[in-house]
């Protein structure tokens, strides 16, 4: 049976975030180096974005490179940056065809200049698309994001642009990298690990968390459907009781 038929298209999550984990283990299992795993993960990215767009998800955010990933061996980091450049160039026609808006969050100033230029060029060329927003979290760390938000809010208070009493959740939301995105409804992490690894900590306050043993390079449309079906079988209460939700 086609798993898509099990999905209620009126109740799909607006925003799906994915921690793409398992590239290294996938490559090791085939007797190859980690870079081989990263290179073979692009099909999973493409299928996830296309499937999300097909069922009506409006935003998908991929944890592509964390602030902690800079600690990895230089050879692997350099390969990841080259892969970012090559994949963005290669996928641009597909982004345009499928109406994908490319966005980025994180400290992109720390990326190599060539990677920055390619990223910003793709962002510019896709800004008028309308189907789905693909956000790449690059040199991203949620704690750093929150610290930066607090600093910027504090500056406004010191400069009397903002009263202390006016600060609320919306104030913080508006100073995060994701200010123009809906809150995360569903977070998917592959490879069997069950943690969120400094990813969208504020934005995932009420997200449903879905963990799968599938390694990221093997993640396909059917696995994305599995996550959506599981999400739709959960009761999202947001602090209320089941009876209140029913009413």
Positions marked catalytic: 21, 69
3-class secondary structure for 55-122? HCCCEEEEEEEEHHHHHCCHHHHHHHHHHHHHHHHHHHHHHHHHCEEEEEECCHHHCCHHHHHHHHHH
Is 193 assigned to a binding site?
A: no
Is 23 assigned to a binding site?
A: yes
* Measured distance CA(151)–CA(241) in Å, rounded: 37
Residues whose CB is less than 8 angstroms from the CB of residue 138 and which lie 6 or more positions away in sequence, other chains included: 64, 65, 84, 104, 105, 106, 108, 111, 119
Distance set, CA 75 to CA 16, 28, 31, 148, 204 (Å): 31, 17, 18, 30, 32
CB count, 10 Å around CB of 113?
Answer: 8
Is 35 assigned to a binding site?
A: no
Is 197 assigned to a binding site?
A: yes
Is 196 assigned to a binding site?
A: yes
* Residues 43, 83, 69, 31, Cα dihedral to 10°: 70
Is 34 assigned to a binding site?
A: yes
SS3 138: strand
Is 169 assigned to a binding site?
A: no
Is 29 assigned to a binding site?
A: no
Is 185 assigned to a binding site?
A: no
Is 109 assigned to a binding site?
A: no
20, 216 contact by CB (below 8 A): yes
Is 220 assigned to a binding site?
A: no
Is 75 assigned to a binding site?
A: no
What are the binding residues?
21-26, 34, 38, 66-68, 70, 72, 189, 195-197, 208
What are the binding residues for substrate?
22-26, 34, 38, 66-68, 70, 72, 189, 195-197
What are the binding residues for Mg(2+)?
21, 208
């Amino acid at each position: 049976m086609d798993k898509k038929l099990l999905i209620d298209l009126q109740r799909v999550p607006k925003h799906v975030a994915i921690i793409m984990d398992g590239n290294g283990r996938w490559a090791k299992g085939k007797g190859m180096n980690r870079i081989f795993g990263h290179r073979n993960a692009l099909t999973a990215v493409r299928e996830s974005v296309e499937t999300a767009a097909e069922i009506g998800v409006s935003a998908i955010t991929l944890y592509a490179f964390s602030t902690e990933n800079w600690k990895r061996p230089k050879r692997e980091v350099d390969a990841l940056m080259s892969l970012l450049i090559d994949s963005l160039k290669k996928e641009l026609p597909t982004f345009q065809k499928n109406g994908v808006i490319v966005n980025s969050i994180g400290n992109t100033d720390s990326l190599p200049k060539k990677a920055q230029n390619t990223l910003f060029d793709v962002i510019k060329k896709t800004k008028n698309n309308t189907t789905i927003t693909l956000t790449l979290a690059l040199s991203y760390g949620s704690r750093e994001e929150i610290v930066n938000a607090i600093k910027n809010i504090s500056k406004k208070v010191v400069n009397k642009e903002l009263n202390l009493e006016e600060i609320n959740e919306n104030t913080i939301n508006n100073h995060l990298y994701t200010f123009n995105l809906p809150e995360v409804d569903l977070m998917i992490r592959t490879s069997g690990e069950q943690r969120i690894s400094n990813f969208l900590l504020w934005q995932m306050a009420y997200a449903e968390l879905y963990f799968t043993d599938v390694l990221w390079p093997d993640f396909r449309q059917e696995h994305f459907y599995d996550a959506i079906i599981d999400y739709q079988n959960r009761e999202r209460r947001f602090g209320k009781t089941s009876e209140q939700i029913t009413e």
